[in-house]
Structure 1
Amino acid sequence: MQHDPIDLAAAEALHPNWKRDDHLLTRLAANAAQHPAEIAMRERDRGIWQEYSWSDYLTAVLEFAAGLEARGVKPGDIVLVIGDNRPNLYFAMLALAALRAIPSPAYPDAPTEELAAQMARENIRCAIAEDQEQVDKMMEARERHPDLRLVIYDDPRGLKGREPEGVAGFDDLRAEGAARLKAEPALAKDLIARPSVHDVAVLMHSSGTTGAPKGIPLKHGHVLSGVRNAAAAGYFQQGEVHMAYLPIGWVGDFIFSIGAALDLRFSVNIPESQETVMHDLREIAPTLYFCSPRAWSAMLTRVQVGMAETTGLKRKLYDYFMPRAMAAERAKLDGKPATSGGLSRWLGEVLVYGPLRDRLGLARVERAYTAGEAIGEDVFLWFRALGLNLRQFYGQTENCALAVAQKPEDISLTTVGRPFPGVEMKIDEHGEILLKGDNIFDGYFQNAKSTAETLVDGWLHTGDAGQIEPDGQLVVLGRVSEVVEKADGQRFIATYLENRLKFSPYIKDAAVIGKGRQILTAIICIDFQAVGQWAQEHGVPYTSYAELSQSPRIYDLIAGQIAEVNAHLPHGLSIDRFVNLHKEFDPDDGEVTRTRKLKRNVIDERYGPIIEALNAGAREIDFKAQITYENGQTGSLDRVLRLSDVKGAA
């Protein structure tokens, strides 16, 4: 099955500002013509950086496109793309765009069942996979979805010369395509000219917190509009050095690593593996860097653990300068004059801040961003104290992840900034955030009902509750659907409370429960690294995550963290009781999405006995825990979990 053909007249009426030949392939071709030798992409492979010029980039895309077409890929075909960030996977997505086919990227850790379901929904007949691990998944998925006829792999290790039926190498298809291009001199120019700005450039997917993920088609025009709006706001600059390490299944990677990279001639740098990201980051030294609040927090925890283990002059310098820089940033946050500067700041820059930024790989970062959820005050202030102008932004897949961002002079924890040029924003009578602009998608994949609910008179109903401050900045409160009431009628948004709990370095995940109940309770997943370091410093023995989580002293530690959050919450919204779970929430167990959003229905069902015991005032519970082994099989394990009160909750 192919994607619905374009009604060009309707598309042009919907987006009259778009020009037909303004699409990703023409941007790539222009870069190759005007800057052929300039480095477009680097990949670290076995410790050596492999470089691709813009000319190399275009050649790879066109050869692979010609090879794919020879193997039967047609306009409108949806092709699964799965694996870690790799040049050939990016080349493949653009090759598909040249054929007016549609790449449908998936998260590399997605299990076979999810992939088979995606293939069935999108009637996928071709897949492009990074390596043997992903090809093995494709072979398993093909047993459930026999329409999958062609699988193309990138990494030949374990596959070359031993390919299963219907499996071919990326290089083989490139060779076939190169032969076609040589035999058909007009083909290269034809491939560049085939797409339209109104074609779908990529099929992304919603997180699927309440059901099957929805397909979100983003057209070339949406992507380029989003990038240009952001550039007009100073969010991107031409020639950025960018590190591509975020999952290709996430919209931000496509926008940053392909859309913005092509339109603004980024140098895209790909680390060797997810395990070497932090090491490679230092060598890449990007000018633009985005990561989630969770990742910023993990980076800070790593520094704090390292400083706790060091002694002597380094520790003394850190303990002297960082608190002063933090105090200065806190004063700015409170609207007061900075309390530290001049010689002190200069010395701190030379002795502490500069070396730390270099150590973290952030020495050249001029634009540092965070998004996805609220960021903890200490994390936000620490990185700003380090000399990074860390800013928050707000976006969704439906708006190409680019809609609202803080300006460099905006220092606020509670807001996410103002709309980009080209984006309109308002709050409706229900308190929902509405957006309009050429970066807003045109509707869900084969889902007219959801499209009609989400797009009304050109306005995207984001599903998020928010308010606009007098200075025009947006405050995001949480999902409209998550506004619920306790038994006494008091309204709350669980996500808001959970985000504030996760400000603590010792809390990795949290689920707050209270709909229709007398009290609020929380299921806590400790941060193993941070809590483990605390345990080591305070003489708390442990041998596993489960054992550490149930230590009485760790319960006291977490209770104190919750009490601090309670102190800043309205009366009646304090968290009264909690449990430290014996494990982390896991996407493979269906508890969170691949982007780590809670699946509340799963949490409520799986941990129902714990929730009831918390509300009943029990002190412990013998809980039969479901576990998933590495081979995908499941089992159960009995655990005795402590249940604890939070002192002073009201």
Structure 2
Amino acid sequence: MREFSLPALYEVPSDGNLTDLIRRNAVQHPDVAVVGRKVGDVWTDVTSVEFLAEVRAAAKGLIAAGVSPGDRVALMSRTRYEWVLLDFAIWSAGAVTVPVYETSSAEQVSWILSDSGAVAAIVESDAHAAAVESVRGGLPELREVWQIESGAVDHLVATGAEVPDATVDERSAVAKADDPATIVYTSGTTGRPKGCVLTHRSFFAECGNAVERLKPLFRTGECSVLLFLPAAHVFGRLVEVAAIMAPIRLGCVADIRNLTDDLATFQPTLILGVPRVFEKVYNGARSKAQADGKGKIFDKAAQTAIDYSRAMDGARGPSLGLRIKHRIFDKLVYSKMRAVLGGRIEHAISGGAPLGERLGHFFRGVGFTVLEGYGLTESCAATAFNPPDRQKIGTVGQPLPGSVVRIADDGEVLLHGEHLFKEYWKNPEATAEALADGWFHTGDIGTLDEDGYLAITGRKKEILVTAGGKNVAPAVIEDRIRAHALVAECMVVGDGRPFVGALITLDEEFLGRWAAGRGKPAGATAATLRDDPELLAEVQRAVDDGNAAVSKAESVRKFRVLASSFTEEAGHITPSLKLKRNVVAKDFADEIEAIYRTDTSGGRG
């Protein structure tokens, strides 16, 4: 058993709640732009004083509508300015926010609203309103539904016009540090989602210590962050609260199809994403270079960036020759990549899955550092992350200051600290199981090195045991295979089987470019190309790269390229892009069987 901790850098208030942050900002940073609101194609800054006034006006409307202290209010929307405004308005009314993914089905909406006992819901679109209406008969506690695109904010402001300021002040002070701030329903890979109760203390401990440890990323008046992750996800909420706490300018992107334009106009210094985002940035840049006849130059530049970053960790640093090459490629390649990200980008934070050592070194060598972190809904997002001054690529960093990470005898990662969730809503049995002996049992398998850096190697419940008795952690191989531009998703199989296999889906966006560059028929799809020898050879290279990370007994011997993708709508992946292995295994059972029906000499199934 090994454990590691760092001293707290932030003292959690003994009382009070998250609404204290916006009142403090209005006093201490009245003219600082805390949120960027996009109107049409133009970003408009909202100062601390203006934001507080808008939050209070919306909170008055909630109070006038009968929302009482402790009531649960559902918030179903894409990531946009109104999300941040209404989140703080709900807290200012003394209530508890229940985020709902905007992609949720009517069945999921019904479960979350009924289980939480939500008395009101704020939705974004007609589709969201229709989803709520379709299940409203089973939601006796739901009294009000407001729609953002139909003027919900203006309606609330008008409704609450007669509510005295003193009433809002009183309501804002009702919640204490240990009271629930939000109930986030886990997008679990099995079973119905559980309502994870995160308190105001959880967010104070999480965001306060993160902002202090990551100070270079949160310089008031200088830094800005563009949020395009789902605000309903705990990672997105971390960004929201941490930005307000710092404070730094926060921008929200509702439609990621316009992300490139938003990066160019907002010009953030910080972005956050999952590894797939950063893989697409790399693959997109490489693909464009190849299309322009500059593929060899890009590959040389990429290798130089990686070599330069790796040399930065050495005692002597990069050699003179490497520094010269790096300077040349900075003008030819790296500066253009940074320009695509707005031109001011300094750091990025990646979570949700391993980024991969090669990509980590590439981006640092290009000129902006991707800091990997690790966390869960139950840990209020990040429970470990790489600090900018002591980054160790290939790990998810050191524990959040003020918390403890322990590796149990069976390799499971255990957590302790004020940032942890309070309980699972109305589920004492699950709470007791997860918080046994005062430690949160993550279900993840990991290691701690001598400096307290954590590496996650797999999920305890996802460990496969082949017929030969070999334990296999799927994530190690899957993440390496998924890094290939052609691969969208990869799921390793083999539990109780004679060898390890894999189901692979193709990235539709990249597939079109790949096919066109190799003279394949126009309009070719995964369904028409899945048996194409050239495509299979390319996928085999991705599999070979994944196999290089594991032993021969753990390596993928056979794979199947699927004709369709894993989708959230079909229940194959969660909104945070985690595989629901049991659903995939059921829906693609014939494809799995095909892997083991064929000759076992190697290659595809």
Task: Quote the Cα distance in structure 2 between the aligned partners of 1:568 and 1:261.
Answer: 37
**Would the aligned equivalents of 2:488 and 2:507 in 1 still touch at CA under 8 Å?**
yes
Residue in 1 aligned with 2:7? Answer: none
**TM-fit CA distance, 1:298:** 0.9
SS in 1 for 2:440: strand
The answer to whether 1:546 aligns with 2:527 is yes
- Map 1:327-342; keep pairs closer than 5 Å: 327-332=307-312, 337-339=317-319, 340-342=321-323
Describe the shift of the 1:301–1:443 C-alpha distance in structure 2 as closer, same or farther (beyond 3 A): same
Give aligned pairs, total.
591
Residue in 2 aligned with 1:268? Answer: 250
Residue in 2 aligned with 1:96? Answer: 90
- Quick one: which amino acid aligns to residue 344 of structure 2? R
**TM-fit CA distance, 1:303:** 1.2
SS in 1 for 2:582: helix
**TM-fit CA distance, 1:330:** 4.4
Task: Quote the Cα distance in structure 1 between the aligned partners of 2:303 and 2:585.
Answer: 41
Normalization by structure 1: what TM-score?
Answer: 0.86
Q: Deviations over 1:347-403 (max 9, x none)?
A: 333343223201222x32233221111123443232122111222111111111122
The answer to whether 1:170 aligns with 2:150 is no
- Quick one: which amino acid aligns to residue 492 of structure 2? V
**Would the aligned equivalents of 2:183 and 2:196 in 1 still touch at CA under 8 Å?**
yes
Describe the shift of the 1:564–1:195 C-alpha distance in structure 2 as closer, same or farther (beyond 3 A): closer
Task: Quote the Cα distance in structure 2 between the aligned partners of 1:287 and 1:60.
Answer: 26
**TM-fit CA distance, 1:333:** 6.7
**Would the aligned equivalents of 2:357 and 2:394 in 1 still touch at CA under 8 Å?**
no
Residue in 1 aligned with 2:55? Answer: 61
**Would the aligned equivalents of 2:391 and 2:397 in 1 still touch at CA under 8 Å?**
no
Residue in 2 aligned with 1:559? Answer: 540
Task: Quote the Cα distance in structure 2 between the aligned partners of 1:574 and 1:403.
Answer: 31
Residue in 2 aligned with 1:205? Answer: 185
The answer to whether 1:599 aligns with 2:580 is yes
**TM-fit CA distance, 1:318:** 4.3
Task: Quote the Cα distance in structure 1 between the aligned partners of 2:495 and 2:297.
Answer: 48
Task: Quote the Cα distance in structure 2 between the aligned partners of 1:91 and 1:321.
Answer: 43
**TM-fit CA distance, 1:80:** 1.1
2:226 to 243, 247, 254: 243
**Would the aligned equivalents of 1:550 and 1:582 in 2 still touch at CA under 8 Å?**
no
The answer to whether 1:381 aligns with 2:364 is no
**Would the aligned equivalents of 2:43 and 2:266 in 1 still touch at CA under 8 Å?**
no
**TM-fit CA distance, 1:146:** 5.0
- Quick one: which amino acid aligns to residue 65 of structure 1? A
- Quick one: which amino acid aligns to residue 459 of structure 1? W
The answer to whether 1:522 aligns with 2:502 is yes
**Would the aligned equivalents of 1:47 and 1:272 in 2 still touch at CA under 8 Å?**
no
**TM-fit CA distance, 1:35:** 2.4
**TM-fit CA distance, 1:205:** 1.8
The answer to whether 1:126 aligns with 2:120 is yes
**Would the aligned equivalents of 1:576 and 1:645 in 2 still touch at CA under 8 Å?**
yes
Describe the shift of the 1:618–1:147 C-alpha distance in structure 2 as closer, same or farther (beyond 3 A): farther
SS in 1 for 2:251: strand
Residue in 1 aligned with 2:4? Answer: none
**TM-fit CA distance, 1:324:** 2.4
The answer to whether 1:280 aligns with 2:262 is yes
Describe the shift of the 1:433–1:445 C-alpha distance in structure 2 as closer, same or farther (beyond 3 A): same
**Would the aligned equivalents of 1:375 and 1:413 in 2 still touch at CA under 8 Å?**
no
Runs of 5+ in structure 1 lacking a partner? 1-15, 161-168, 620-643
Describe the shift of the 1:415–1:105 C-alpha distance in structure 2 as closer, same or farther (beyond 3 A): same
**TM-fit CA distance, 1:18:** 4.5
**TM-fit CA distance, 1:170:** 2.4
**TM-fit CA distance, 1:433:** 1.0
SS in 1 for 2:238: helix
Residue in 2 aligned with 1:348? Answer: 329
Task: Quote the Cα distance in structure 2 between the aligned partners of 1:316 and 1:209.
Answer: 41
Describe the shift of the 1:315–1:588 C-alpha distance in structure 2 as closer, same or farther (beyond 3 A): closer
Residue in 1 aligned with 2:598? Answer: 617
- C-alpha RMSD of matched pairs (Å): 2.4
Task: Quote the Cα distance in structure 2 between the aligned partners of 1:114 and 1:550.
Answer: 37
**TM-fit CA distance, 1:427:** 0.8
2:194 to 190, 196, 214: 214
2:511 to 525, 531, 547: 531
Q: Deviations over 1:603-645 (max 9, x none)?
A: 22111122112111179xxxxxxxxxxxxxxxxxxxxxxxx94
**Would the aligned equivalents of 2:305 and 2:363 in 1 still touch at CA under 8 Å?**
no
The answer to whether 1:465 aligns with 2:465 is no
**TM-fit CA distance, 1:465:** 0.8
Task: Quote the Cα distance in structure 2 between the aligned partners of 1:573 and 1:322.
Answer: 29
Task: Quote the Cα distance in structure 1 between the aligned partners of 2:53 and 2:41.
Answer: 25
Describe the shift of the 1:32–1:17 C-alpha distance in structure 2 as closer, same or farther (beyond 3 A): closer
1:113 to 93, 107, 114: 107
**TM-fit CA distance, 1:458:** 2.4
Runs of 5+ in structure 2 lacking a partner? 1-9
Share of identical aligned residues, percent?
Answer: 28
- Map 1:315-464; keep pairs closer than 5 Å: 318=298, 321-332=301-312, 337-339=317-319, 340-361=321-342, 363-410=343-390, 412-464=392-444
Residue in 2 aligned with 1:646? Answer: 603
**Would the aligned equivalents of 2:356 and 2:394 in 1 still touch at CA under 8 Å?**
no
Q: Deviations over 1:440-467 (max 9, x none)?
A: 1122111111111111232211111111
The answer to whether 1:491 aligns with 2:471 is yes
Q: Please, which moves more after superposition, 109-118 or 321-330?
A: 321-330
Task: Quote the Cα distance in structure 2 between the aligned partners of 1:441 and 1:215.
Answer: 10
**TM-fit CA distance, 1:335:** 8.0
Describe the shift of the 1:342–1:66 C-alpha distance in structure 2 as closer, same or farther (beyond 3 A): same
Task: Quote the Cα distance in structure 1 between the aligned partners of 2:545 and 2:34.
Answer: 48
Normalization by structure 2: what TM-score?
Answer: 0.92
- Quick one: which amino acid aligns to residue 581 of structure 2? R
The answer to whether 1:142 aligns with 2:144 is no
**TM-fit CA distance, 1:78:** 1.3
